[in-house]
Every structure is written in C-alpha cells, then in structure tokens.
Amino acid sequence: MIEATFKEIIKRRTTILWVAALVFTLASFMEFSSAVSLDREVSRLEDVIHKRQLVLEQYAQQTLDLPDDEFVHFEEFPEDMVLYRYFNDTIHSWINQFPIANDDIDFFPFGYRINHLNSRVVTNTPLAYLSLSEQYVNLGSAWYVVNVYIKENQTVIAALLIQTDYPTENAVLSNKINPNLSLRRQLSIVPVTYDESYIIHGKNGGVLFSVLKNLPSTAEETGVLLRWFAILFVMLALFANLRKNRRVWDFFLLLAGMVLVRFVAMYQAKELQGELEIFSPNLYADYGLFSSLGDLLINNMMIVLLVASLFMIRISLARLVLDSSRWFKLGMGLLFLAIPLAIVPYIHYSIHSLIMNSNITMEPFRISEIDIYTLLVYVSYSLLFMALVLSLQLLRPFFGRKRVKSFMKRKPLMIYITAISLYTLAIVSYYGFQKEYDRNRVWTTKMSVERDLNLELQLRGFEKFIENDPIIYT
C-alpha cells in the first residue's frame, strides 16, 4: 500500500510540485503578522523583563545583606546583569562592568569643575543622575534597565542589559538586543519618544521603553522566504517535466521558465539587501546582473541548470541533428559551439569582477581568512566548469556519424581538470596581486596628500642638529 502510494506520488511529481509552487506563491502575499500576535509578543517581552528584574533584585538584596568587609561575589552570575556596590560615595566591589569611564555616584558642582576641568559636559558621571525608581538609561555604548537600592550608608546599583548601541559597527562590535530577551528580529527597542509604539513597563509599573515593528519596504520577511520556496518548486517542476518527457519542446518551456525565474529572483534579491550579507553590496557589488554575491551565484546556477537540461535531452538533439539537412545541422552546430565560447569569457570576467570588487578571500593559501562565502564561490565555479565540459560533450553529434572520442573518459577529464586547476590558480593569484597592489597605491597616494609638511621640516631641523652635535654624532 505504501509502496503503491509512493509510486503514485513519483508518477505525479510534476503536478505536485506545480501545486506546491502555487500554494507558496499565494501564501507569500498573505499577512502573517497581526496586531494580536504583536500584542502577544510585547506582553511576552514584558514578562521576560519582569522575571529578569526579579532575579536581579534578589542579587541586589543579597548584596545589601553582605558584611561590610566582604566583596560581592555570586556563582553563575548572569553576563547580561551588572552590580555595583558603594559605601557612601566610594565604590567597594562589583560584578561585571558598565561601558563608562567614571563610576562616581555623587558630585559637587564646584568640586566637580575643579577635578574635571578637561570635561566639556557634566554627563560623564552618568551614575550620579540615577534615581531610586526603575529607569531605562544609556550608559556608554549600551542601554540598561537600572534600579538603585539604598540601605543606610550602602548603595547598590543593579542593571539589566537591554541592547548595545555602538557609534559605529564592524565585524567585532555590532548593535544587538540582549539575546536572553528572545525578541523577534522584526521588532526594535527605542526610548519612549514615538507615538506608534508599544510601551514596556517595568516590574514596579514604571515606563521603560517602546517597542517598534520594523516593516520591510515592500513585503514581510516571511513572504519573501515563501517566494524563494515557490521559485525552488517552480524550478523542480520544470526539471521534473523535462526529465519525464525529454523533448525539445519541453526544454524551451524550461528555458522560458528559467528566464522568468531569474527576473523574479533578481527582484527578491533587492528586497534582501539589508537583511542578508550575501545580497549586500558591502560584500560584493558590480553592476547589472552582478549587483551582489547572491546575484552572481544565481547567474552561475542558471547557466549550470540550462546546460544540464540540454544534456538531459542530448539523445533527442542527436537524433534531430543527424536526421536534419546540412544547413540546419550547420546552424545548430554554430549555436551549440557558441555555448562553451560564451561560458569561457563569462567565467573569466566574473572571477575578475569577484576578486576586484569584493571582500571575499579567494587565495587558497590565506587559510585563516577563508569563510563560507569563499566555499560557496568555489563550489559555484566548480559547477560552472562541469557545465563547460558538458557543453563540449554536446558538440559530438555535429561531427557527423563518425566516432568522436568522448570528453567524459578518464584521460580527457584528467587533462581538463588539470587545465582548469592551473587556470584558476593563475587567475586568482594574478588578480589578487593586482588588487593588493592597487590598494597599496591608494594608501600611499592618500598618505602623500595628507603629509604634514611642518612636521617634516621640524624633523629635518632635528637631523641637522644631530649632525652638528659632537656628542650625539660620535
């Protein structure tokens, strides 16, 4: 029974794939994020913060009960929490630290001015402005929910990290929301300055911050993901139909579908430029069909799939060519000869563009800098070189009925693999060197333009002074 059902599914796989593509396409235009679900998400976030505040309050109360001569220390203290313990206005001990330079909690206007003459503002002592009520404050490069607890001459500042906020981001420092809050990526946390937002209250009822919903420019992220699945099912359905029939007409149907899929994929890639690094121009950017690494990989895969589809119907093509007239055979031969002649310059141009216009490491000897994008690029071009040898194999029927040696035999393949390996190594090394050379020229030009002539003249004067000094000179 199960085997019969499985065979029936395989038999109707093309129809099933088309239905799946249609379902995913329709579902991608539906609105999945409703106001009710957003209210539920905000309520869940508020509950999480209340629980974290309760845990932090317990640590703060235990700190207040510690002897005066004992440093504060707790096993497995959460990394997203901070505790400062003061006696009078002097810090005694702490667990974790705020990203600030001054931890004073008290100041006197006149004395402060005397001790901090180099400061332009008074706000470089942010802890001095904390109130006893729970509050959402910015301390250095991060935002915290802060509570202050006082017992006699002892003060404890307890803070829960909400998000980091660096002036500039890079590979090491990135702005992000505390992962322990488990906030969805479509939401962002801001101070209470926006009208269309959800207010988050603290454990004691105080207003902390607002939550905003990040709406993509044209569609929800979920819809974009479903459209990519729809594109995948369309491609699978086209190939399933070609594999079943293996007719020339079905190839042209697949060709039209692949062209349409490419334009849809190009449109979807633009929507993901700000979400995924693979579609970001910060990683790689040229122009046209090479506007991002994702577009380049899609182009490569389209070429591979089209050549593979031609290879699937090679028997039908061979019969058509062998039984056709001389002029038709000549025209078809020139057409199929144009395929490898087009793939070769495409490979060369795209590799050159990738090396010169991206931050991707292509040199195999720079092992420490190789990442997932390097592997994706090499896999993509390996498939392109496979498509090239398949396109050469498709030329065999145009040599007439005489026997032509196959390119898929061991010896021709070994020669081919050796040739493309040497070519890849040579082109990557050459353009990598050229890119590094051009980069150094830019830096040296910039340094020559920004040179300090006054400083150079002063150094020249020191050189003459050293030359004329009898003690230093000897």
Per-residue H/E/C for 231-296: HHHHHHHHHHHHHHHCCHHHHHHHHHHHHHHHHHHHHHHHHCCCCCHHHCCCCECCCHHHCCHHHH
Q: Which of 78-92, 179-193, 243-257, 365-379 has the lowest mean pLDDT?
A: 179-193
Report d(CA 131, CA 147) in Å as an integer.
Answer: 8
First to last CA, the chain: 102
- Helices (H) and strands (E) counted in the chain, each on its own, are 13, 8
Please name the residue ranges forming H helices in 65-201.
Answer: 109-115
Picking from 226, 214, 210, 184, the residue whose alpha carbon sits closest to that of residue 41 is 184
The average confidence (pLDDT) of the chain is: 81
Q: What percent of the chain has pLDDT over 90?
A: 22
Of 143 and 279, the structure prediction assigns the larger pLDDT to 143
pLDDT of residue 441: 84
Task: Give yes or no for a contact between 351 and 420, defined as CB atoms under 8 angstroms apart.
Answer: no
Burial of 86 (0-12, 13-18, 19+ CB in 10 A): buried
Of 316 and 352, the structure prediction assigns the larger pLDDT to 352
Residue 196 pLDDT level (bands cut at 50, 70, 90): low
pLDDT of residue 220: 53
pLDDT of residue 427: 92
pTM of the complete model beyond 0.85: no
Report d(CA 97, CA 79) in Å as an integer.
Answer: 10
**Stretch 149-165: mean pLDDT:** 92
Report d(CA 317, CA 325) in Å as an integer.
Answer: 14
Residue 138, pLDDT above cutoff 60: yes
Q: Which of 89-93, 111-115, 146-150, 270-274 has the lowest mean pLDDT?
A: 111-115
**Stretch 214-221: mean pLDDT:** 52
Task: Give yes or no for a contact between 148 and 105, defined as CB atoms under 8 angstroms apart.
Answer: no
Task: Give yes or no for a contact between 105 and 157, defined as CB atoms under 8 angstroms apart.
Answer: yes
Residue 468, pLDDT above cutoff 80: no
pLDDT of residue 423: 92
Q: What is the DSSP letter of 95?
A: E
pLDDT of residue 274: 65
pLDDT digits (tens, 9 = 90+) for 431-460: 888 888 888 888 887 777 766 677 777 777
